[in-house]
Amino acid sequence: MIAGTGARTALAVLLALVTALLAGAPSAAAAPAAPPAAALTPADLDAWLDGVVPAGLDRAGIAGAAVTVVRDGQVLTSRGYGVAGAGVPVDPTRTLFRVGSVAKVFTATAVLQLVEQGRIDLDADVRTYLDFPLPLQFEPPVTMRHLLTHSAGFEERIRGLITLGETTEDLRDHLATDPPEQVFPPGTTPAYSNYGYGLAGYVVARVSGMPYPDYLQRHVLDPVGMTSSSAAQPLPPPLRDRLSSASPTVDDPAAPFETVRPSPAGSLTASPDDMGRFMLAELGPPSLLSPATQDLMRRPGLGAGTLGGLAEGPRTGLGLFDESRNGRRILGHGGDTQFFHAHLQLYPAERTGIFVALNGSGRGAMDSHELREAVLHGFTDRYFPGGTDPGGADTGGATGSADRAVLAQGTYESARAPFSTFLSAMNLVGQVTVVAQPDGTLLFAPGPLSAQPAVYRELRPWVWQEVGGQRIVAGRVEDGRVTALGVEGAFTMLPAPPWRNGSLVVPVLVGAVVVLLAALVAWPAGAWVRRRYGRAVVTPRVDRLALLTTRLGAAAAVVALGGWTAVVVTLLGLGEVPTGVLAGLVVLQAAGALAVVPAAASVVTGVRRRAGGPAVSGRLLLLLALVAVAGVAATYGLISTDLGF
């Protein structure tokens, strides 16, 4: 769901965009001159948007959209496209959109208001503000700075993230019940965290003495005139009928209201016009924050002291991502629910902002993302063109590039993932393979935050830029090893150890399942052949018992793996799975793991009674298959009593 760059939850872990060019990138000195900027006037802007957005909606099959642009304290345009449901046109003044994780910018603003007042200390142990225990594994303690920069070290959890239908939320209960495990030392490994922003919003509620939606309404929304916006769930009655319908595509029926938890991570509903008012306040003066606090919000929240080499790439501010393009400093945040998609970008130096919202996902997995990028990148390229080098001179094959590329190659997994629960099994898909090319470039397959391969050329030691693009990857090196690759501030890729390397584990697991299925089919088939042709085989009772137990265990293992697959697919679609079903799968998976014992016994008895080479080989192969499945089950929590996710 709620993803800072517009990546959807279900695949957060499984998400991406952009295409690879295998030719070398031109150096900064040889870069072609930027095209002249178009005049950023309402007339030109409206004409350009009218040419981009409707065509994009038609291609993607999305019902409606809205775009608002502000500059120099004024709204340049606020336009609606398509329909908001039942043939009603999108009206940027009246139609409301869910903005997903764009709400995190509002939560960060609320936190910084209280920092400004001296009521919250950015660098104090956040547990001093809580009224429930927060189990942590590392020192130093987690601070508000860590929460706002997605660096508290929490693993991903998705239980209850989005539910369909109008329900209320007990924020404290959601945060205190089965919190995610802390898997990284604070400040070291940015990993996008909805839970972290939930904690930040709860601290706002605790310190201010009022519920989070009420604080946001009174101190953030109302002061800037956002009278058509609310973080409440369900929506207040005056706003309820103004919410746009939403659905995957224009051909699908309208989806129910989505309740987002934790609410500070993405519950906000707003009109495009109201989002224009917020952008004007963020770009102020006048502003919701003092100039010093505004500057604090925009600056990178962490430095090389904790991030190491990751600090050489784009870094996250306190609630805003560095989305710079064409040499222009751009700060932004995207957001997604299941059906709504939005993105906000601010150009502080140009005092310009743009907000885009969609009420559908599109027919393809990346359609909503690609349409938003077409608008956002197109806007920058048209009105603020410039160089494509965001990080210094292109070394273009300088001494050592090839050696560093070799050290960077390998298989990587996302740091934004479950690690301690059964959902860690989904980490086996969506991994990125990095291959060093002879010319010192790196081939990413797929590209970072992308669905297509991408080639990166080194800009300076341990910092690579996409060939033909502007995305930056920075490497952290410790003891001669690349220990992390950072992308877009809060998205970190980590080298996958062999036991979590999908290119190794998946083939082994598939092979093991094939052996188990073959064995399950072969046993009744063999029995039928023996009955049909009268070829009775006399086996000792202990051997028969070992074989029977092995068969039952093999069947349990196969059924459990099929069940876990269905569970993961359901949960990634934000569906519900009863705890009893999870417990049953754990029991079946444990039975499959315990079958290793009789399987080993059957190999021994087969050898002792000289059952023959083929029979013993088959038993040995079955034993190895059960061991492989049991190893995967143990590694990914499929036989754990912890059923949290």
What are 256-301's pLDDT values in tens digits?
A: 999 999 999 999 999 999 999 999 999 988 899 999 999 999 999 9
CB atoms within 10 A of CB 341: 32
With CA atoms as reference, report the closest residue to 247 among 180, 339, 336.
339
Decide: residue 287, CB within 10 A, 0-12 exposed, 13-18 middle, 19+ buried: middle
Strands 410-414 and 352-358: unpaired
Phi, psi of 540 (to 5 degrees): -60, 155
With CA atoms as reference, report the closest residue to 592 among 519, 487, 534, 502.
519
Model confidence pLDDT, tens digit, residues 379-422: 999 999 986 554 444 445 567 899 999 999 999 999 999 999 98
pLDDT score, position 19: 27
Task: Note whether 98 and 259 are within 8 A (CB).
Answer: no
- How far, in Å, CA of 199 to CA of 127, rounded? 10
Architecture of domain 41-383: 3-Layer(aba) Sandwich (3.40)
Average pLDDT value for residue range 308-319 = 96
With CA atoms as reference, report the closest residue to 645 among 6, 186, 13.
13
With CA atoms as reference, report the closest residue to 174 among 201, 148, 147.
201
Q: If you ran DSSP here, which 8-state letter would residue 218 be given?
A: I
- Domain definitions of the chain by residue range: 41-383, 401-496, 500-635
Contacts of 317 (CB under 8 A, 6+ apart): 149, 297, 298, 299, 300, 301, 331
Q: If you ran DSSP here, which 8-state letter would residue 490 be given?
A: T
Task: Note whether 465 and 471 are within 8 A (CB).
Answer: yes
Model confidence pLDDT, tens digit, residues 441-469: 999 999 988 888 999 999 999 999 999 99
Phi, psi of 57 (to 5 degrees): -60, -45
Above 70 in pLDDT, residue 17? no
Task: Note whether 406 and 436 are within 8 A (CB).
Answer: yes
Decide: residue 293, CB within 10 A, 0-12 exposed, 13-18 middle, 19+ buried: middle
- Tell whether pTM > 0.75: yes
Query: 247-260 burial, b if ≥16 CB within 10 A, otherwise e?
Result: bbbbeeeebebbbb
